[in-house]
Structure 1
Amino acid sequence: MDDFNSETDSDYTSYWRDWFISSRGNEYFCEIDEEYLTDRFNLTGLNTEVQYYQYALDLVTDVFDLDCDDEMREQIEKSARHLYGLVHARYIVTTRGLAKMLEKYKKGDFGKCPRVMCEQNALLPMGLSDNAGVKAVKLYCSKCEDLYNPKSSRHASIDGAYFGTSFHNILFQVYPAMIPQKSQRRYEPRVYGFKVHAAAALQRWQDNKKDEMKERLKRMKVDTGFEDDDEDGEREDDDIDVEEDGAAMN
């Protein structure tokens, strides 16, 4: 907002949406059409969620003309950003909004997947809750179908409700051609170039889990039902001796 401090109020308000979209940290947002913002049906229920709702709406729609002090202006500005975010979540699931977000997705404006096997597949912003103030925005990879935190602290502080929980799924339903082929590649552990034997690794894991369970049952003073290895060895030796004695008698 420092760039606008020297401008008049009319200049300040006429550039509000342009300033918001171009500000650092707001790269995830697309510009909402003025026709959508001025349609009261699209704003149903938001007046109860945003403080100074009417003033904030006037600021976002470039008709703000209230003469107020700096503190009041700051509060209205904060409400305007919150209002824009809530409307943004509704706008990006419309035909026009999906098209705008698709272009940003194609350009990689939301970042690339950090997973090596995904080969820098583009990410999409999404929320874990549709209610504001619950969870910050996350980034969804359509290739590995996992979620990641934004790298930038500016992006990590954005409310996930400004994108909603359904946007990324709706986008791929409308544009199914954009769904990437799922990655079948997995990291394979190796020792000196040779693959680690999967059966051996599984056996070690099973033995460890068995030992953990036996220790847990012993602490609870519950009969494990397992026989110790030493006892198994002694029993096998006894069986061998009996078989040898029987053969000698015959």
Structure 2
Amino acid sequence: MISLINEGDTSLPQWNNMMGLNSDSDESENGWVHWYCGLREHYFFIVIPNEYTRDAFNLYGLRQYFPKNYDSLIELILSSNIPDEDDLADPALQDLHREAGELYGLIHARYITTPRGLQIMKHKYDKGCFGKCPRVLCNGYKVLPVGITNELRSRRVRVYCPNCQEAYDPRNVNLIDIDGAFFGTSFPHIFLQVYPEYISTSCPEPYYPKIFGFRVSDKLSIIERKGINGEYGKRAQVEMFKARPSSVQHIEKPQLLNIGTGKLPNLMVDGSNVNSSSNQDNLNSRNSEYNSTASSKTIKSSNTSNANVLAYHPEDINMNQMPYNLNSASRSCSYSRQ
């Protein structure tokens, strides 16, 4: 059964301005849109002004999803009629309202990327309406709704954390049937481009599995791998590289790193010192080859056992030429933190 938000319920934020409603607007008092957004499971939604819905340009391409009754659905969305229990008990009317909700959701995905829509969503974000990141080490960072795909009836809505830059299932079970296409794949990234102050300026804290205080494995965590490959920005990449020098072997594009040519890097890929006894025999040959091939950003050992080993030093990294990834295999968008 569809449930409405009780006026005395303090467990959820009180809407009006958060849904884009004005106290002096007729749309805030009645109408199908107000009823639909007022449902308990729809508190991620904001109210779309009728003027936006009436503009055919804003709805371009949506008719293909509802070829049989598209005009009837638009008329229902713009109507001032609120369905009662008898209407919702009629299977035919149930289907009509369900399809109207789907069409409204697709319009909603477009409206929230407009200047006014972003402003309203910002207000909801500030109030914490979308929840917090379930990752413990993100320390309650506020999340944004996101769709995994823009295809209707494909995947339900997820929440995106600007700190760890991962998508999660929302904790609230009321959102289990909300389609991800109602928010789209681009919304959180457009939101963070318009409001960059919400982008975390610190690198996410990695979690290290331990048994009795000892690290279980030296393998990089997912957070560390992303940091090393520049997905959290230049500063985070340098910080993680300094903490784990051996992680250089996991850099996807090491040729983008600018290594200084003033001195021989003194750290090997495994974190050991080049000047140790095991590497002293190759020091002279490495110095000579490094000076002649510094532009290649690699140091090749004349010893076959150490051939093609990268040797970087954290202090040799040029911050202005660190990798800046806007796209990678593991995410759709990331941001540089200066």
Task: Give the TM-score range, shorter chain.
Answer: 0.5 to 0.7
> In structure 1, what is the equivalent of residue 137 of structure 2?
117
Task: Give 1:102's match in structure 2, choosing from 122, 125, 129.
Answer: 122
The structure-2 alpha-carbon separation of the partners of 1:56 and 1:14, relative to structure 1 and needing over 3 Å to count, comes to farther
Task: Give 1:54's match in structure 2, choosing from 40, 50, 71.
Answer: 71
The structure whose Rg is larger is: 1
3-state SS of paired residue (1:165): coil
In the superposition, the TM-score normalised over structure 1's length comes to 0.67
Deviations 1:150-204, CA, capped at 9 Å, x for gaps = 1233312211111111111000111111212233423345565xx4268xx449x
Asked whether 1:93 is paired with 2:113, we answer yes
Asked whether 1:155 is paired with 2:162, we answer no
Pairwise CA RMSD: 2.6
Matches of 1:46 and 1:131, distance apart in 2: 12
Question: CA contact under 8 A between 1:113 and 1:121: conserved in structure 2?
Answer: yes
> In structure 2, what is the equivalent of residue 24 of structure 1?
40
> In structure 1, what is the equivalent of residue 94 of structure 2?
74
Matches of 2:91 and 2:210, distance apart in 1: 62
Unaligned runs of 5+ in 2: 5-28, 220-338
Higher helix share: 1
Identical columns (%): 37
Counterpart residue identity of residue 58, structure 2: N
The structure-2 alpha-carbon separation of the partners of 1:158 and 1:20, relative to structure 1 and needing over 3 Å to count, comes to same
Matches of residues 127-206 of structure 1 in structure 2 within 5 Å?
Answer: 127-189=147-209, 195-196=213-214, 201-202=217-218
Matches of 1:58 and 1:118, distance apart in 2: 44
Asked whether 1:35 is paired with 2:55, we answer no
> In structure 2, what is the equivalent of residue 216 of structure 1?
none
Counterpart residue identity of residue 114, structure 2: T
Task: Give 1:45's match in structure 2, choosing from 34, 58, 61.
Answer: 61
The structure-2 alpha-carbon separation of the partners of 1:52 and 1:188, relative to structure 1 and needing over 3 Å to count, comes to same
The structure-2 alpha-carbon separation of the partners of 1:202 and 1:173, relative to structure 1 and needing over 3 Å to count, comes to closer
3-state SS of paired residue (1:77): helix
The structure-2 alpha-carbon separation of the partners of 1:75 and 1:181, relative to structure 1 and needing over 3 Å to count, comes to same
> In structure 2, what is the equivalent of residue 248 of structure 1?
none
Deviations 1:71-108, CA, capped at 9 Å, x for gaps = 43222211110110010011111111111111111111
Cα distance, 1:22 vs. partner? 1.2
The structure-2 alpha-carbon separation of the partners of 1:184 and 1:54, relative to structure 1 and needing over 3 Å to count, comes to closer
3-state SS of paired residue (1:88): helix
Cα distance, 1:118 vs. partner? 0.8
3-state SS of paired residue (2:108): helix
Question: CA contact under 8 A between 1:28 and 1:109: conserved in structure 2?
Answer: yes
Q: How many residues align?
A: 187
3-state SS of paired residue (2:200): coil
The structure-2 alpha-carbon separation of the partners of 1:196 and 1:131, relative to structure 1 and needing over 3 Å to count, comes to same
Counterpart residue identity of residue 47, structure 2: E
Counterpart residue identity of residue 159, structure 1: D
The structure-2 alpha-carbon separation of the partners of 1:185 and 1:41, relative to structure 1 and needing over 3 Å to count, comes to same
The structure-2 alpha-carbon separation of the partners of 1:202 and 1:78, relative to structure 1 and needing over 3 Å to count, comes to closer
Counterpart residue identity of residue 55, structure 1: S
Matches of 2:126 and 2:133, distance apart in 1: 13
The structure-2 alpha-carbon separation of the partners of 1:132 and 1:63, relative to structure 1 and needing over 3 Å to count, comes to same
In the superposition, the TM-score normalised over structure 2's length comes to 0.51
